[in-house]
Structure 1
Amino acid sequence: MTGTTQSTRPYLSYVYAYPHKTAYRPLAGHPAGRPLLSDLWAAERKDALSLYLHIPFCEVRCGFCNLFTRLGAPDELTTRYLDALDRQATAVRDALGDDEPVRFAAAAFGGGTPTFLTAGELERLCDIAEKRMGADLGAIPLSVETSPATATADRLAVLADRGATRISIGVQSFVDAEARAAVRPQRRSEVEAALGRIRDARVPVLNIDLIYGIEGQTESSWRTSLDAALAWRPEELYLYPLYVRPLTGLGRLGTGTETADTAWDEQRLRLYRVGRDHLLSHGYEQVSMRMFRRADAPHAGPDDYACQTDGMIGLGCGARSYTSSLHYSFDYAVEMREIRGIIDGFTTTADFSRAEVGRYVDDGEARRRHLLQSLLQAEGMRPVEYRERFGTDPYEDFPAELALFTARGWLDGTEGPSLLRLSPEGLAHSDALGPELFSPAVRAAMAAYEAK
Structure 2
Amino acid sequence: MTSTGMTDQDLSPRPYQSYVYAYPHKTAYRKLTDRPRLADEWAGEPKDALSLYAHIPFCEVRCGFCNLFTRIGAPDELTTRYLDALDRQATAVREALGDAEPVRFATAAFGGGTPTFLTAAELERLCDIAEQRMGADLRAVPLSVESSPATATADRLAVLVDRGATRLSLGVQSFVEEEARAAVRPQRRSDVEAALGRIRDSGVPVLNIDLIYGIDGQTERSWRRSLDAALAWRPEELYLYPLYVRPLTPLQKRAHASDREWDEQRLRLYRHGRDHLLAHGYEQVSMRMFRRADAPPQGPDDYACQTDGMIGLGCGARSYTSRLHYSFDYAVGMGEIRTIIDAYTATEDFSRAEVGRRVDKSEARRRHLLQSLLQAEGLRLEEYTERFGSSPFADFPAELARFEDRGWLDGDAPAGRLRLSAQGLAYSDGLGPELFSPAVRAAMAAYEPK
TM-score by length of 2: 0.96
- Find the aligned partners of 2:330 and 2:394 in 1 and give their Cα distance: 36
Deviation track 1:157-193 (CA, whole Å, cap 9, x = no partner) reads 0000000000000000000000000000101000000
1:231 aligned onto 2:232: yes
1:115-130 pair list within 5 angstroms: 115-130=116-131
1:179 aligned onto 2:166: no
Residue 79 of structure 1 is matched in structure 2 by 80
Report the alpha carbon displacement of residue 413 of structure 1 after superposing the two structures with TM.
Answer: 1.4
- Find the aligned partners of 1:382 and 1:316 in 2 and give their Cα distance: 34
Report the alpha carbon displacement of residue 299 of structure 1 after superposing the two structures with TM.
Answer: 1.0
Residue 349 of structure 1 is matched in structure 2 by 347
Q: What secondary structure does 2:418 align onto? A: coil
- Find the aligned partners of 2:334 and 2:44 in 1 and give their Cα distance: 38
Deviation track 1:109-162 (CA, whole Å, cap 9, x = no partner) reads 000000000000000000000000000000000000000000000000000000
1:23-102 pair list within 5 angstroms: 23-28=28-33, 33-102=34-103
Report the alpha carbon displacement of residue 302 of structure 1 after superposing the two structures with TM.
Answer: 4.3
Residue 147 of structure 1 is matched in structure 2 by 148
Q: What secondary structure does 1:156 align onto? A: helix
- Find the aligned partners of 1:430 and 1:309 in 2 and give their Cα distance: 19
- Find the aligned partners of 1:91 and 1:401 in 2 and give their Cα distance: 42
Say if 1:185 and 1:90 are closer, same or farther in 2 by CA, change over 3 A: same
1:10 aligned onto 2:15: yes
| The 10-residue stretch of structure 1 (412-421 or 439-448) with the greater mean CA deviation from structure 2 | 412-421
Q: What secondary structure does 1:13 align onto? A: coil
Deviation track 1:246-265 (CA, whole Å, cap 9, x = no partner) reads 000101x23438xx610000
- Find the aligned partners of 2:305 and 2:195 in 1 and give their Cα distance: 31
Match of 1:264 among 254, 262, 265: 262
Report the alpha carbon displacement of residue 307 of structure 1 after superposing the two structures with TM.
Answer: 4.6
- Find the aligned partners of 2:15 and 2:117 in 1 and give their Cα distance: 34
1:391 aligned onto 2:389: yes
1:365-380 pair list within 5 angstroms: 365-380=363-378
- Find the aligned partners of 2:309 and 2:168 in 1 and give their Cα distance: 23
Answer whether contact 1:313 1:320 (CA < 8 A) is retained. yes
Report the alpha carbon displacement of residue 384 of structure 1 after superposing the two structures with TM.
Answer: 1.2
Residue type matched to 1:334 in 2?
V
- Find the aligned partners of 1:369 and 1:379 in 2 and give their Cα distance: 16
- Find the aligned partners of 2:73 and 2:50 in 1 and give their Cα distance: 31
- Find the aligned partners of 1:382 and 1:102 in 2 and give their Cα distance: 28
Q: What secondary structure does 1:409 align onto? A: coil
Answer whether contact 1:308 1:370 (CA < 8 A) is retained. no
Q: What secondary structure does 1:52 align onto? A: strand
- Find the aligned partners of 1:368 and 1:323 in 2 and give their Cα distance: 16
- Find the aligned partners of 2:417 and 2:50 in 1 and give their Cα distance: 27
Residue type matched to 1:232 in 2?
W
Residue type matched to 1:268 in 2?
R
Residue 3 of structure 1 is matched in structure 2 by none
Report the alpha carbon displacement of residue 308 of structure 1 after superposing the two structures with TM.
Answer: 6.4
Residue type matched to 1:115 in 2?
T
1:240-319 pair list within 5 angstroms: 240-251=241-252, 253-256=253-256, 261-302=259-300, 306-307=304-305, 309-319=307-317
Larger RCO (alpha carbons 8 Å, 6+ apart): 1
1:20 aligned onto 2:18: no
1:165 aligned onto 2:166: yes
Answer whether contact 2:207 2:237 (CA < 8 A) is retained. yes
Deviation track 1:409-452 (CA, whole Å, cap 9, x = no partner) reads 00001137621000000000000000010000000000000000
Q: What secondary structure does 1:79 align onto? A: helix
Residue 193 of structure 2 is matched in structure 1 by 192
Answer whether contact 2:307 2:320 (CA < 8 A) is retained. no
Residue 381 of structure 1 is matched in structure 2 by 379
Say if 1:9 and 1:194 are closer, same or farther in 2 by CA, change over 3 A: same
Say if 1:348 and 1:431 are closer, same or farther in 2 by CA, change over 3 A: same
- Find the aligned partners of 2:12 and 2:397 in 1 and give their Cα distance: 17
Deviation track 1:292-340 (CA, whole Å, cap 9, x = no partner) reads 000000011249x955654100000000000000000000000000000
- Find the aligned partners of 2:382 and 2:348 in 1 and give their Cα distance: 46
Answer whether contact 2:22 2:306 (CA < 8 A) is retained. no
Q: What secondary structure does 1:314 align onto? A: strand
1:217-228 pair list within 5 angstroms: 217-228=218-229
- Find the aligned partners of 1:160 and 1:213 in 2 and give their Cα distance: 34
Deviation track 1:349-374 (CA, whole Å, cap 9, x = no partner) reads 00000001000000000000000000
Residue type matched to 2:218 in 1?
Q
Deviation track 1:42-65 (CA, whole Å, cap 9, x = no partner) reads 010000000000000000000000
Structure 2 unpaired stretches of 5+: 1-10
Answer whether contact 1:105 1:302 (CA < 8 A) is retained. no
Answer whether contact 2:413 2:419 (CA < 8 A) is retained. no
- Find the aligned partners of 1:309 and 1:392 in 2 and give their Cα distance: 19
TM-score by length of 1: 0.95
Deviation track 1:224-276 (CA, whole Å, cap 9, x = no partner) reads 0000000000000000000000000101x23438xx61000000000000000
- Find the aligned partners of 1:275 and 1:331 in 2 and give their Cα distance: 36
Residue type matched to 2:24 in 1?
P
Q: Percent identity?
A: 82
Question: How many pairs align?
Answer: 439
